[in-house]
């Protein structure tokens, strides 16, 4: 499991604690940053308990903090600014098996812009964008071990076989089910781009198989 996915799962696990989840929902729903006193009063819990859970949520990146003097006074004697909490900009998405719908969305949106500005067909634009994305992913895949790590991080669940590498998961499965030609072509170009930097006799090919990605990596 890649580090970012592990961190996301840890952040979600933090919300399993009931008081912590209530605090997160309170802060997320507040129109302005809230203090420890605000949170403790709203939930009817001790201030120390609120502080502990708010700081844990901050450590996991679910909340951010800022400091502000709420008395409106400035200068000497105005007191220390209060530590306030608000929802962070971090986005967390977890799916099992792993899906990469945000990646598909970015590729398709960029392809539409390309098609409108260059006159190429949308399908050509999607395939070009997918290959470029694969090439970017593949810049660190200089050997098969590195290739497997990149494929795993991208959600493909690679499974080495005697004559190649099976991809046991499609990171765009729901899209592929509704639009197989478009998405399978996108997957093919993405994996081909990933392999383009690898000094190895491997190639991407369409090989639909139940429970797997439509693309398979085989020896030339």
**What's residue 1's pLDDT?**
42
pTM above threshold 0.75: no
Q: Residue 60: its pLDDT value, please?
A: 87
With bands split at pLDDT 50, 70 and 90, how would you rate the model's confidence at 6? low
Token representation of residue 159: 């499974």
Q: What is the pLDDT of residues 155-196, one digit of tens each?
A: 899 999 989 999 999 999 999 999 999 999 999 999 999 998
180-183 LR contacts (CB < 8 Å, sep 24+): 180/214, 182/123, 182/126, 183/104, 183/214
Confidence of residue 80 (pLDDT cuts 50, 70, 90): confident
Strand order in the sheet with 158-161: 158-161, 164-167, 215-219, 202-206
Residue 21 reports pLDDT greater than 80? yes
Residue 135 above 50 pLDDT? yes
Q: Is the pLDDT of residue 2 over 60?
A: no
Domains of the chain and CATH, by start = 3-87 (1.10.10.10), 101-219 (3.30.1380)
SS3 216: strand
Q: What is the pLDDT of residue 211?
A: 83
Per residue in 89-124, pLDDT (tens digit) is: 876 665 555 678 889 999 999 999 999 999 999 999
Give the number of C-alpha atoms closer than 13 A to the C-alpha of residue 81, restricted to the C-beta side.
9
Starting at the edge strand found earlier in the chain, the sheet holding 63-68 runs 34-35, 82-87, 63-68
Percentage of the chain lying above the pLDDT 90 cut: 59
Note the pLDDT of residue 4: 61
- Displacement of CA 157 from its chain's centroid (Å): 16
How far is the C-alpha of 168 from the C-alpha of 147, rounded, in Å? 15
Report the mean per-residue pLDDT for the chain.
Answer: 87
């Amino acid at each position: 499991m890649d580090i970012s996915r592990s961190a996301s799962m840890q952040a979600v696990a933090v919300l399993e604690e009931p008081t912590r989840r209530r605090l997160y929902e309170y802060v997320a729903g507040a129109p302005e940053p809230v203090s420890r006193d605000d949170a403790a009063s709203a939930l009817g819990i001790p201030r120390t308990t609120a502080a502990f859970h708010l700081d844990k949520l901050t450590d996991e990146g679910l909340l951010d903090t800022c400091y502000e003097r709420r008395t409106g006074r400035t200068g000497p004697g105005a007191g220390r600014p209060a530590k306030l909490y608000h929802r962070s900009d971090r986005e967390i998405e977890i799916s099992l098996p792993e899906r990469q719908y945000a990646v598909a969305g970015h590729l398709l949106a960029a392809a539409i812009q390309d098609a409108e500005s260059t006159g190429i067909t949308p399908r050509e634009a999607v395939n070009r964008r997918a290959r470029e994305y694969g090439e970017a992913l593949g810049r660190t895949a200089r050997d098969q071990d590195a290739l497997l790590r990149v494929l795993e991080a991208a959600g493909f669940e690679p499974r080495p076989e005697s004559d190649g590498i099976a991809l046991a998961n499609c990171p765009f499965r729901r899209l592929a089910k509704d639009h197989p030609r478009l998405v399978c072509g996108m997957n093919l170009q993405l994996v081909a781009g990933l392999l383009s930097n690898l000094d190895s006799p491997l190639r991407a090919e369409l090989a639909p198989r139940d429970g797997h990605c439509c693309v398979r990596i085989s020896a030339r």
